[in-house]
Amino acid sequence: MPLRKDDISFTLLQIRLGIAAGLASCLVYPAMIFLHLPYAGIVVLAAVLGPLLGVAGLGLGKLLRIPRRSVSAKMAAVFTFTGGALMTAMLLVQLAVKARAGSSGASSELIGVWLGLDVALDVYLGLGTGLFALAMLRHPRFGPWLGIPGLPIAAGLLVLNLYTFPTPPADAGLVDLGPLVGLWFLAAAVQAWRSLRWAETTLAREILGDKAAGAPDAG
């Protein structure tokens, strides 16, 4: 189906929203860890981080499907969006359990609930990261410089979390790759922002190409 101007505007809007959400999530994540916020502020950040991650994944997936379709980019967007939903569930369950347990501390059974959600999140996020990295390898605006590092980061996230399950890798004496994944997505969001003009130009050329192909032959 030929592209229309409305299609370009809608696609670019999705990409812009994804970039904004990706950059915002890279600010929210460290803010939750390092800032001494009131409880209400922590709850708000925990609630918005997952949706931001999901929107970022959808936007990046849109960009990586320009100029040609990419199955891995589409699957990566789905996995990352699902990971965002699991992140919201994990963080809010963790906060709710800690709030109800109070000073007595949460039982090991309840702790196991959010640890299981945490690993489920990392599985989907690891798959999304790996598939995004795969889609970047031959993309004209990303390429191996970002795709190649993403593959071992994603593999490490999956292997470490499944190997130490249900104990988090950091608690098992290994390394937490979550911050490294966050830095990788930050680099991807910045590169996506730098690629906006390219995306607009490429989509516009596709419209011109469709019009030329559909024009009647002279004579």
- Per-residue pLDDT averaged across 125-129, rounded? 98
- Is the per-residue pLDDT at 171 higher than 60? yes
DSSP 8-state assignment for residue 165: T
Query: Residue 33 domain-assigned?
Result: yes
Rounded-to-integer distance, Cα 30 and Cα 26, Å: 7
How far is the CA of 131 from the CAs of 124, 145, 147, 154, in angstroms? 11, 15, 9, 9
Confidence tier at 101 by pLDDT (50, 70, 90): confident
Q: Which residue has the higher pLDDT, 114 or 137?
A: 137
Domain enclosing residue 133, as ranges: 5-197
Q: Is residue 141 part of a domain?
A: yes
**Residue 153: inside a domain, yes or no?**
yes
Q: Is residue 37 part of a domain?
A: yes
Can you read off the two tokens belonging to residue 100? 């109800």
Asked if residue 218 has pLDDT above 60, the reply is: no
Q: Is 162 helix (H, G, I), strand (E, B) or coil?
A: helix
Higher per-residue pLDDT: 60 or 103: 60
**Amino acid (1-letter code) at residue 54:** G
Residue with tokens 């030929």: 2
Q: Is 102 left (phi over 0), alpha (psi -120 to 50) or beta?
A: left
218 within a domain of the structure (yes/no): no
CB 79 within 8 A of CB 124: yes
Q: Is the pTM of this model over 0.85?
A: yes
Does some domain include residue 202? no
* Lowest mean per-residue pLDDT among 36-40, 114-118, 202-206, 214-218: 214-218
Confidence of residue 204 (pLDDT cuts 50, 70, 90): confident
Mean pLDDT of 187-215: 80
Asked whether residue 205 is assigned to any structural domain, the reply reads no
Predicted confidence at residue 3, as pLDDT, reads 53
Query: Residue 213 above 60 pLDDT?
Result: no
Q: What are the two backbone dihedrals, phi and then psi, of residue 4, each rounded to the nearest 5 degrees?
A: -115, 165
| Cα–Cα–Cα angle for 164, 72, 204, rounded to 5 degrees | 140
Split into its structural domains, the chain has a count of 1
158 versus 98: which is more confidently predicted? 158
How wide is the angle at C-alpha 98 spanned by C-alphas 96 and 103, nearest 5°? 140
**83 pLDDT tier (thresholds 50, 70, 90):** very high
User: Could you give the maximum distance between any two Cα atoms of the chain, in Å?
Assistant: 87
Rounded mean pLDDT of 170-174? 92
Mean pLDDT of all residues belonging to the chain: 90
Closest CA to 140 of 62, 66, 194, 29: 66
Which alpha helices (H) appear in 35-163, and where do they start and end?
39-64, 71-101, 108-136, 144-163
Query: Which own/partner pairs from 33-41 qualify as long-range (CB within 8 Å, at least 24 positions apart)?
Result: 39/99
Task: Report yes or no on 215 lying in a domain.
Answer: no
- The torsion region of residue 105 among left (phi > 0), alpha (psi -120 to 50) and beta comes to left
